[in-house]
Structure 1
Amino acid sequence: VGEGSAGPRPRSLETGAHRAQGGRVWGSRRTEPGLNRSYRGTFRSPRPSPKSGQTDGTGEESLHFDIQKLKEKNDMLDKEISQLISEGYRVDELEDHIAQLHEYNDIKDIGQMLLGKLAVIRGVTTKDLYPEFGLDMND
């Protein structure tokens, strides 16, 4: 089979010497002699299994429980919103505050980048430049 042909490729590229040792070549990966999939252990899900007495999340009972919890959380958040509104907070003020925080963070990032470039030029650390510019390490 020449270059560029679409013919089938062999699955196992075992060599006689390697086969005699018990190892295999799969593509470009070699497996150690005597090691195979069974030594890797069984698959274990990263999702924890339910504790005894709990449903596994697939039953109707679990669904109703989840819905009830979400309704309770929604009610709690509605109460918090009402309290904040009664204290004089407004949604448009919050959005403006968030926009200002984004702008502040962008400006701070640019300042940090400039300090870093200046530190490289001078051959010092950015920490060394903070006192020169009247900056606190917590800034």
Structure 2
Amino acid sequence: MRFNVDAVIQELTFKAIRSSGAGGQHVNKVSSKVELSFNLNASEGLTDFQKQRIQRKLKSRLTNEGVLILQCGESRSQHKNKELVIKRFIELIKVSLIVPKKRIPTKVPKSVIKKRLKNKRNLSDKKANRKKPDID
């Protein structure tokens, strides 16, 4: 299922925030972590069917208002973090729009049934031959 990537990217909002964790002077004064937010309900780059599908698939990752928030603070560069978070976002949307194929149940072939019964008979005979013979 296709969606207009450029239109969706235009709807993204970004915010630069300071990275968490231990660090020296650099981490305390530079806002290199990037936070991406995408309002799913207000999006015009997606159809209603696509919005419903994403809503269902990403239910646990959306806020109550239907906003998807992703963060990236892997790199020291804000630009690199922005590229990474956009790639992650696009991949997440693509994966959530994939409709799985319906499984068509097939009949078990007769040869497979015969093979199973033959193996069962062989095992049974093998175990029966372990017993002491019945002498009356």
TM range (shorter): under 0.3
**Bigger relative contact order, structure 1 or 2 (CA pairs below 8 A, ≥6 apart):** 2
Which entry has the higher C-alpha Rg, 1 or 2? 1
**TM-score normalized with structure 1 length:** 0.27
In terms of fraction of residues, the more strand-rich structure is 2
**TM-score normalized with structure 2 length:** 0.28
In terms of fraction of residues, the more helix-rich structure is 1
